[in-house]
């Protein structure tokens, strides 16, 4: 004869997995007292870091994020935004209806996102069918590749880029890079941060995503993927190549040359 479970057994079955509180939500934890574990518990869910990546460019509406991340289900986007708010990474923008922006804690993730962009750039491979390129993703790529020490010795230059259907304007003035999306569908932008007159050197380029990948990686670009100069001096393509470059890490490079401690 079957007997009903005891109250103690029922309580054990209902007991939640070990975790910790993030805002009003109890996050499922890894059981690790570690900074990396805590960070991943807050921003390691699927799509979360891509939302952070896009918000690095500035405040975005829900619809803007959905357009930039077309494969994310609407319920998942809503969940991730709520979780990131509870984690103190994202907040609502009262002056923009349906808008979101990064908090100071969220913006502190910028070096992490740029480091991931550099690491991932060398495992990109060929674009898969249906993969998109967004202006916000391009902006992060440019910031990850920017070499201010090189740019400081070059004249101020504006690069107008069209890559895979996304368009942006990147103004380089000394060690400062300012990137804004342009063209149809571009969001209204605040005044540019660069306090300089419009650069006299301007070049407009159209390049396929694979060609853009090779261009930033400093690799040779095949004829079919080479940038097309739409306006401006073709010689400025070479200037772009030295101003923006994501170099692969040297074998055995642990970061100690930059004054970082190694865990090895």
Q: What's the pLDDT at 27?
A: 56
In Å, what is the CA distance from 174 to each residue of 145, 152, 199, 245? 15, 4, 11, 16
Handedness of CA 79, 85, 89, 90 (dihedral sign): positive
Question: What is d(CA 52, CA 16) in angstroms, rounded to the nearest whole number?
Answer: 29
Domain boundaries, the chain: 19-107, 133-243
What's the pLDDT tens digit per position in 120-173? 998 998 899 999 999 999 999 999 999 999 999 999 999 999 999 899 999 999
CB atoms within 10 A of CB 96: 15
Q: Identify the architecture of domain 133-243 in CATH.
A: 2-Layer Sandwich (3.30)
Question: Are domains 19-107 and 133-243 of this chain identical in fold?
Answer: no
Question: What is d(CA 212, CA 111) in angstroms, rounded to the nearest whole number?
Answer: 22
Q: Reply yes or no on whether the pLDDT at 80 is more than 50.
A: yes
pLDDT bin (cut points 50, 70, 90) of residue 6 is: low
Assigned fold of 19-107: Arc Repressor Mutant, subunit A (1.10.10)
Cross-strand pairs, 158: 171, 202
pLDDT bin (cut points 50, 70, 90) of residue 261 is: low
115-119, 198-202, 241-245, 255-259: the lowest-pLDDT one: 255-259
| Selection from 198, 232, 226 nearest residue 212 by Cα | 226
The mean pLDDT of 57-83, rounded to a whole number, is: 95
pLDDT bin (cut points 50, 70, 90) of residue 98 is: confident
Asked whether the beta carbons of 141 and 124 are under 8 A apart, the reply is no
Q: Collapsing DSSP states into helix, strand and coil, what is residue 100?
A: strand
State phi, psi for 92 to the nearest 5 degrees. -75, 150
The mean pLDDT of 58-64, rounded to a whole number, is: 92
Asked whether the beta carbons of 81 and 63 are under 8 A apart, the reply is no
Question: What is d(CA 264, CA 55) in angstroms, rounded to the nearest whole number?
Answer: 34
The mean pLDDT of 241-253, rounded to a whole number, is: 77
Percent over 90 (pLDDT), the chain: 65
Q: Which residue has the higher pLDDT, 21 or 184?
A: 184
Task: Tell me which residue has tokens 């574990």.
Answer: 37
Where b means 16+ CB within 10 Å and e means fewer, 187-208 reads: eeeeeeebeeeeeebbbbbebb
Question: What is d(CA 258, CA 191) in angstroms, rounded to the nearest whole number?
Answer: 34
| Selection from 194, 203, 197 nearest residue 239 by Cα | 203
Q: Which residue has the higher pLDDT, 193 or 162?
A: 162
Quote the DSSP letter at residue 26: E
Indicate the helix (H) or strand (E) that contains 118. Answer: helix 110-121
Q: Reply yes or no on whether the pLDDT at 104 is more than 60.
A: yes
Q: Reply yes or no on whether the pLDDT at 260 is more than 60.
A: no
Q: Determine whether 262 is exposed, middle or buried from the number of CB atoms within 10 Å of its CB (0-12, 13-18, 19+).
A: exposed
Q: Reply yes or no on whether the pLDDT at 91 is more than 80.
A: yes
16-30, 106-120, 144-158: the lowest-pLDDT one: 16-30
Q: Collapsing DSSP states into helix, strand and coil, what is residue 207?
A: strand
pLDDT bin (cut points 50, 70, 90) of residue 16 is: very low
Token code pair at residue 15: 């007991």
Q: Collapsing DSSP states into helix, strand and coil, what is residue 253?
A: coil
Q: The pTM is what?
A: 0.81
Q: Reply yes or no on whether the pLDDT at 26 is more than 50.
A: no
CB atoms within 10 A of CB 66: 16
- Provide the mean pLDDT of the chain: 84
Q: Reply yes or no on whether the pLDDT at 177 is more than 50.
A: yes
């Amino acid at each position: 004869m079957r007997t009903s479970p005891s109250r103690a057994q029922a309580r054990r079955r209902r007991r939640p997995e070990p975790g910790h509180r993030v805002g009003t939500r109890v996050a499922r934890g890894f059981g690790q007292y570690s900074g990396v574990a805590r960070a991943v518990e807050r921003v390691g869910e699927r799509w979360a870091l891509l939302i952070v990546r896009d918000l690095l460019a500035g405040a975005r509406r829900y619809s803007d994020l959905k357009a930039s991340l077309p494969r994310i289900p609407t319920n998942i986007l809503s969940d991730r935004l709520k979780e990131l708010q509870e984690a103190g990474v994202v907040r609502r923008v009262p002056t923009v209806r349906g808008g979101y922006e990064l908090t100071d804690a969220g913006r502190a993730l910028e070096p992490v996102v740029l480091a991931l962009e550099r690491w991932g750039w060398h495992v990109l491979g060929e674009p898969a069918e249906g993969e998109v390129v967004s202006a916000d993703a391009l902006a992060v790529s440019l910031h990850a590749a920017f070499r201010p020490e090189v740019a400081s010795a070059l004249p101020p230059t504006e690069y107008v880029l069209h890559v895979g259907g996304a368009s942006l304007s990147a103004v380089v003035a000394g060690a400062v890079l300012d990137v804004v999306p342009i063209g149809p569908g571009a969001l209204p932008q605040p005044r540019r941060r660069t306090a300089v007159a419009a650069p006299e050197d301007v070049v407009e380029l159209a390049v396929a995503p694979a060609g853009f990948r090779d261009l930033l990686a400093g690799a040779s670009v095949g004829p079919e993927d080479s940038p097309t100069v739409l306006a401006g001096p073709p010689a400025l393509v070479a200037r772009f190549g030295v101003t923006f470059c994501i170099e692969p890490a040297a074998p055995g490079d642990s970061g100690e040359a930059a004054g970082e401690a190694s865990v090895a």
